[in-house]
Amino acid sequence: MGGSMDMSVPATRALADWLAGLDYDDLPESVRAQARVCLLDYLGCALLGATRDQARRLCRLIEQLGGVGQVTLIGSEIKTTPTYAALFNGVLGSASLLLEDTAAESFAHPGVNVVPAALAVAEYVDASGAELLTALVAGYEVAMRVGAAAGWQTFEKGWHSRGAFNVFGAGAAAGKLLGLSSTEAFCAVLGLAGTQASGLVEASSPYDGWLLLSGSGAQDGVLAAFLAADGWTAGCTVIEGSHGYLQAVAAAPRPERVVIGLGERFEIEAITRKRHASSSLTHSAIDLVMELKEQHELTAASIESIDVRTIDIHYLLEGHWPERRLEGPHSLPYLLAVAFLDGEVLDPQFAPERREDPLVRYLFDRVTVSADPELTVKVPAELPAKVTIELKGGRKVEGYRPYPKGDPRDPLTEEELVGKFRRLASSRVGDERLDAIQDWTAAAEVQLSVRDLTRLLAC
C-alpha cells in the first residue's frame, strides 16, 4: 500500500482550516475567471447530457421518489431536493460523453461533482454569483489536492475519481454555501464525505454505472455538508489517518501534497479543458493524428498503418471495436479513425451510422497501440503520445505531443471555449437562452442571484 502513513502531515485539518477562512475577496481575478469558465464548461456538458435516455429515465425516477420541489433538475421543469438535484445534475455532466474538465495530476474530473453540488446548494439558499464562484474554487481546490495526494495510479487499483476523491470537493463547495465557518465544521464535512467515498471502476464504463459515479459523488458531498451543518462529527484525520482515505485507496499515498502551496496557489488554474469527447489520456494521440493529416495533406486511402506509442493504462491498449456509444470514448483506434476522417471527436462521431461507415473500420484496422515505458514515467507531469503514420509506398510521417490541446500549457482560446459551450448546449436550448446563460456566467460576481441562472436551465 505504499508504506506507512506520515501522521505528522495534518492534511485534513489544513484543508478544513483553509476552507473556514476562504472568502471571495481572497480570490485573484484570474482565479475568479477560471471559476466562471469551469461553470460555463460544465453547463454545456450538462445541457447536452440532458438529452440522453439515462437523463430522462433518472428524471422520471426522481419524480416518483418525490421530494420538496426546491432545486432545479437541469434541462427539465422539475424541482426536487438538493441531494437529488446534485445526483441528477452530476449524471448530466458525465452524460456529455467525457467532455468535462480534467485534473491531469490525478486523472480526476472535478467539475462533474463539484459544480452540480455547488449549484444545488446555491439555489437552495438563494446564493449570489460571487458566493457560487467562491464555493467552486473551494471545491476544485479540495478535490484536486486530495486527488493529487492519492495519485493517478488509483485508477489502475480500481478506484475512479468521479465517485472517489471528488466527493471531498463536492462537500467543501456545499459547506461553503451553507455558511459553515469553523475548522471543526469543515473537518466534519470532509470526514462525512470520506465516509461515503466510493467509485469502483469495474461496474463503470461502458455501463450506466459510470454515470452514477459523478452523480453519487455530488449527492454524497451535499449530504455530508448538510449533516455537518446539523452538528454531525467525523474527526479530523479522514484523509491522512492510518485507516483514512489515502491509506485505503492510494498505491503511493502522499499526504504532504495536500498542503504544498495551500493558500499560495489555486489548483483550479491547473485544469485541462477538453475539445474531444473521449478520455483525456487519448487526446495527445488524437491531436497528433489531426495535425499530421493537415501538415502532410494525408488522405484515408494513402494510409498503410498508424502506430501509436502511449502510456501504460490498460484501456488505452485494448482498443476494442465499440459496439455501443459508451464504448467509443475509450477505444483509441476508433477515436483516431473518426478524428482523421472528421477532424473532430464529438457527439456525432459515436452515432450508430458513424460506426457503420466502412471507411472508419478501414482506418480502425490499421491502428496499433502499444505502451512505451519512457512515456509512462512522464505521467502525470505530461500525458504524452508518439504517432507514426506509414503511407502506402513506404514513406513515414511522425510526431510527438507531451500534452493535449486544452492543457494549461496549450489552452483552448476563449473563442474555442465559448464555441464548445454553445455547440453542446444548443442540443437542448435556443440561441436566446444560450446568450442569457453566457451573460450570467460572465457577470456572475456582480451579486446576481444563482436562481436567475437556474431558471434559465429549466427547460
pLDDT 10s digits, 71-88: 999 999 999 999 999 999
Percent of all residues in the chain with a pLDDT value above 90, rounded to a whole number: 84
Residue 206 has pLDDT above 90, yes or no: no
Measure the CA–CA gap between 44 and 299, rounded to whole angstroms. 33
Query: According to the model, what pLDDT value does residue 4 have?
Result: 47
Residue 383 has pLDDT above 70, yes or no: yes
179 pLDDT tier (thresholds 50, 70, 90): very high
Residue 344 has pLDDT above 50, yes or no: yes
Report the predicted TM-score, pTM, of the whole model to 2 decimal places. 0.95
Residue 90 has pLDDT above 70, yes or no: yes
Per-residue pLDDT averaged across 260-275, rounded? 97
Residue 190 has pLDDT above 90, yes or no: yes
Residue 31 has pLDDT above 60, yes or no: yes
Query: According to the model, what pLDDT value does residue 41 have?
Result: 98
69 pLDDT tier (thresholds 50, 70, 90): confident
Residue with cell 428524471: 59
2 pLDDT tier (thresholds 50, 70, 90): very low
Query: According to the model, what pLDDT value does residue 1 have?
Result: 37
- Name the amino acid, one letter, at 317: L
Measure the CA–CA gap between 90 and 212, rounded to whole angstroms. 8
Query: According to the model, what pLDDT value does residue 57 have?
Result: 96
Per-residue pLDDT averaged across 412-441, rounded? 97
Mean pLDDT of the chain: 94
Query: According to the model, what pLDDT value does residue 46 have?
Result: 98
Residue 6 has pLDDT above 70, yes or no: no
Residue 173 has pLDDT above 60, yes or no: yes
Query: According to the model, what pLDDT value does residue 68 have?
Result: 82
8 pLDDT tier (thresholds 50, 70, 90): low
* Tally of helices (H runs) and strands (E runs) in the chain: 20, 6
> Would you put residue 258 in left (φ > 0), alpha (ψ -120 to 50) or beta?
alpha
Measure the CA–CA gap between 440 and 50, rounded to whole angstroms. 20
Beta-carbon contacts of residue 33 (< 8 Å; ≥ 6 apart): none
Query: According to the model, what pLDDT value does residue 397 have?
Result: 98
Tens digits of per-residue pLDDT, 209-264? Answer: 888 988 999 999 999 999 999 999 999 999 999 999 999 999 889 999 999 999 99
Query: According to the model, what pLDDT value does residue 3 have?
Result: 43
Per-residue pLDDT averaged across 384-402, rounded? 97
Kindly report the backbone phi and psi dihedral angles of residue 194, in degrees, each rounded to the nearest multiple of 5, phi listed first. -65, -30
Question: How far apart, in Å, do the first and last CA atoms of the chain sit?
Answer: 48
